[in-house]
Amino acid sequence: MHGIVLKRLGHNVHILERDSSALHSRGAGITAMENVEAFFNAYDVVKRPWSIISPNMQFLSRKAEVVKTWNMELHMTSWTTLYYRLRANFDGLQSKYCPELPTMTPEREGALADGVGKAKYDQGKTVTDVKETNGTMTVLFSSMDGGGSIEADLVIAADGPSSTIRQIVQPEVQRKYVGYVAWRGTVVEKEVSEATKGVFRERLTYYRMSGSHILLYLIPGENGSLEPGERVLNYVWYTCESEEKLDQILTNTNAHRHHVTLPAGEIREEVWAKQVERAVNDLPTPFAELVQKTTQPFVQAITDVTSGPPSFFNGKLIFVGDALAAFRPHVACSTNQAALHALLFEKVMTGAMTLQEWEDQSLQYAQVTSLLSVVLGNMNQSDFWSLPASVFWFGRAWIMQWIRKRWLGVSAEAPHSLARRIPTSVSSIMKFR
């Protein structure tokens, strides 16, 4: 997202991507909240539908009866759909998700752009170090052909909650397992029984039980299809697991123990067989059917990580998205935060906001959203003793921010705008999830 913003403002952007091959579906759904919608309204030139509307949120009983409904319209999409839409806007990548790209014009590039910068997307490049010398950043990376280095005026680290760049400058920041995991899976809509489709009805659907909960929503299908039957039912099932059990779950078919996420296709048969049996015994029939029909499940350990400083080297290294602050998935705000950072950063680059203001607003959002994610996690996982404390800290943070905005105003103290220190050649290091 930041690459698109900077390119439209006339800067040259070079993205280093760790994965070496074309990225395929990672089986993950995304809730496109207000900042994501605002970003695409401002920057998307493809202008094709890319999400599915969930008109409300429903909660099921053990017998799959709707016991409660919340009127809350949400827009749902998939990681893959979002990725290829962003690539189309950044470097004009043509794909089955975006087969026809409109011709770029100054009007489409945005009224603020003096000219469109160059965009380069380099895959198979793993960042190994970042250094600052006499005001210039140097990024070192490894690759299959031996690696190399790039000089940059600005480095943007968007490499996720296990940020390599964060570990380079702040190695004490570590992710901490919080006692439960998320089992994720998808099933194509046409493969699901009519009875099950009738229960879910394009709604975000929840089921809660002691120490566990599961949710589901529809996302675009292959190549971003929004056609009924081709769409995909995407679920996330949270279960409490001990450290010992976590080791078993995250150990793949080759006996390699993954740190946080076990990718699709690597789960051991005996582990998944137990989870399917658990689904049949514990979940409402529609949810159990989806688990049984899942062919490529993957598992994620839920973690907390303390937010570090947003910038280093006098503002020449910036952390954004999950690399700045990672939340538990319950708030569905990971992509929303990335979009917020990008929208605010445009103001920094045009002189409408100082870097200090950007840092303040980014950290305020991160603090409240992180604490809210802990509250929702403790509430849904029935962690009674942790819930009151997490509610207290969330409420305290929310009240303090309200007081600051209402009575003190937002800090605007900064010596100069970041834009005044950055010429038109900008190198950006970003890792898409």
Write down the pLDDT at residue 221: 94
CA separation for the pair 371, 397 (Å, rounded): 8
The DSSP bridge partners found for residue 176 are 304
Residue 285 exposed, middle or buried by CB count within 10 Å (0-12, 13-18, 19+): middle
Encoded amino acid at 106, one letter: P
Q: In what order do the strands lie in the sheet with 74-78?
A: 29-32, 74-78, 52-54
- How far apart, in whole angstroms, are the C-alpha atoms of residue 103 and residue 92? 10
Task: List strand residue ranges (DSSP E) for 260-325, in order.
Answer: 261-262, 298-304, 311-312, 317-319
Q: Within a 10 A sphere around the Cβ of 116, how many other Cβ atoms? A: 18
3-class DSSP assignment, residue 83:
helix
- Token code pair at residue 31: 């809730």
Distance CA 219, CA 234 (A): 7
- Which residue type sits at 72? M
The H or E element that residue 176 is part of is strand 176-188
Any residues with CB less than 8 A from the CB of 343 and at least 6 apart, and which?
5, 35, 38, 39, 42
The pLDDT of residue 8 is 93
pLDDT of 382: 61
Q: At what angle do helices 355-380 and 386-403 cross, to 10 degrees?
A: 150
Identify the three-state secondary structure at position 224.
helix
CA nearest to 322, candidates 370, 251, 378: 370
d(CA 187, CA 221): 10
Structure tokens at 320: 């954004």
pLDDT of residue 47: 82
Strand partners, 15: 121
CA pair distance 118, 17, nearest whole angstrom: 17
Please provide the DSSP assignment of 93-115 as one string. ---SSS---PPP-HHHH-TT-SS
The first and second tokens of residue 100, run together, are 């026809």
DSSP string for 322-365:
GGT----GGG--HHHHHHHHHHHHHHHHTTSS-HHHHHHHHHHH
The rounded average pLDDT for each run of 10 residues, N- to C-terminus, in the chain (433 residues) is: 94 90 65 94 90 94 95 93 94 90 56 66 93 92 90 94 92 92 96 96 93 95 94 96 96 95 94 97 97 96 87 94 92 93 95 94 90 86 60 56 52 36 43 37
Whole-number pLDDT of residue 379: 82
pTM of the full structure: 0.86
**pLDDT of 31:** 92
